[in-house]
């Protein structure tokens, strides 16, 4: 190789090194919870915000402006005694709902992606360290821990004295809520990343094998499954005799709860990752194409859409005739649930 070729080689290596640069910082996945007139949200900037539900005005933020940034926060906040939120640094934070002041933290050994679940003074948190922890909500002391075979990215589900946990090891576990002992489990053909739903003594959940499953809540035996065109990640929603769920094949499905037969499906312009919401005969679903869809719950017919200009991967929330959602650019929006007209946005759009 002559000098000219060597110089070109060095330039190409420089280009390669720029193109193959080291791992980019992880990107956030916004989450939103509504409780008692306040919205708690974890948008893309690594912080937790409390916003007034009516106006979108900021009440507090965590960590405060003068403190070092923590996170990013992937998990949707959970509200109980305090506001509980898991972080990329592996810690569960308990914050005052009024002021955002940190009350306690609980360390796990890996990142926390799922929203915790609060019930009866106990908080259940899952982690990338393969474990589900039961923690005293007041003190942050561990009560018990259960280990699965892989990361846990799904919020657990509580049903009386039982706790259901979906793991990336392809299993859903049914645990005794008081002791953490396993009662039964079911193995799907793919990873389980979304929160399950409960209705009529059955547990419903989606899988990376593309299926929606129904299993018996008592003995974990399969009742039925339904195949979509790609991974199913979102939390199923049960309304009456029907189950609504989105798939990464871009569709929102309505299934018969008793046998999994498809009633209708609606095709969006991108993946439907998050769960769906229901209000007054309407199903709301966010899509990767940046739109929030309002569909007739009986027929799947489109009522209206709202274009958010960034993908929507989180589940929308409905309260007081208003639909709240956060898009991938970190913007929180409140829309009229009936017309889709925007009421406010945070941060405000200039």
The binding site for other proteins (CB under 8 A) comprises 1-10, 12-13, 15-17, 19-20, 22-23, 26-29, 74, 111, 113, 150-151, 153, 168, 170, 189-191, 193, 208-210, 230-231, 233, 248, 271, 273, 313
CB of 313 to other proteins, least distance (A): 7
CB of 122 to other proteins, least distance (A): 25
- Whose Cβ is closer to other proteins: residue 100's or residue 290's? 290
- Whose Cβ is closer to other proteins: residue 29's or residue 186's? 29
- Whose Cβ is closer to other proteins: residue 12's or residue 349's? 12
CB of 310 to other proteins, least distance (A): 13
- Whose Cβ is closer to other proteins: residue 37's or residue 229's? 229
- Whose Cβ is closer to other proteins: residue 84's or residue 113's? 113
CB of 189 to other proteins, least distance (A): 5
- Whose Cβ is closer to other proteins: residue 233's or residue 344's? 233
Do 252 and 273 touch, CB atoms closer than 8 A? no
CB of 105 to other proteins, least distance (A): 21
CB of 181 to other proteins, least distance (A): 26
């Amino acid at each position: 190789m002559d000098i000219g070729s060597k110089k070109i080689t060095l330039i190409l290596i420089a280009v390669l090194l720029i193109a193959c640069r080291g791992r980019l910082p992880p990107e956030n996945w916004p989450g939103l919870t509504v409780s008692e007139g306040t919205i708690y949200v974890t948008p893309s900037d690594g912080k937790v915000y409390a916003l007034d539900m009516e106006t979108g005005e900021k009440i507090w933020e965590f960590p405060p402006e003068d403190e070092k940034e923590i996170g990013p926060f992937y998990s949707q906040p959970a509200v109980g005694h305090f506001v509980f939120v898991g972080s990329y640094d592996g810690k569960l934070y308990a914050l005052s709902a009024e002021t955002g002041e940190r009350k306690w933290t609980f360390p796990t050994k890996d990142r926390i992606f799922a929203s915790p679940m609060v019930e009866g003074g106990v908080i259940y948190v899952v982690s990338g360290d393969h474990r589900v922890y039961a923690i005293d909500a007041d003190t942050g002391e561990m009560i018990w821990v259960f280990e699965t075979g892989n990361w846990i990215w799904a919020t657990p589900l509580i049903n009386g004295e039982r706790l259901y946990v979906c793991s990336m090891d392809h299993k859903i576990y049914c645990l005794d809520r008081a002791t953490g002992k396993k009662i039964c489990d079911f193995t799907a053909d793919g990873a389980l990343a979304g929160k399950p739903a409960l209705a009529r003594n059955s547990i419903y959940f989606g899988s990376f094998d593309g299926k929606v499953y129904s299993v018996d809540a008592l003995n974990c035996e399969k009742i039925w499954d339904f195949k979509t065109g790609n991974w199913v990640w979102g939390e199923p929603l049960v309304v009456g005799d029907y189950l609504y769920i989105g798939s990464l094949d871009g569709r929102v499905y309505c299934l018969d709860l008793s046998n999994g037969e498809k009633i209708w499906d609606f095709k969006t312009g991108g993946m439907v990752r998050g769960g769906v919401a229901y209000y007054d005969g309407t199903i709301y679903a966010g899509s990767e194409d940046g739109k929030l869809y309002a569909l007739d719950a009986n027929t799947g017919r489109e009522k209206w859409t709202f274009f958010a200009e960034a993908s929507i991967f989180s589940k929308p929330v409905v309260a007081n005739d208003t639909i709240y959602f956060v898009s991938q650019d970190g913007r929180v929006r409140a829309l009229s649930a009936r017309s889709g007209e925007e009421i406010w946005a945070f941060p405000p759009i200039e």
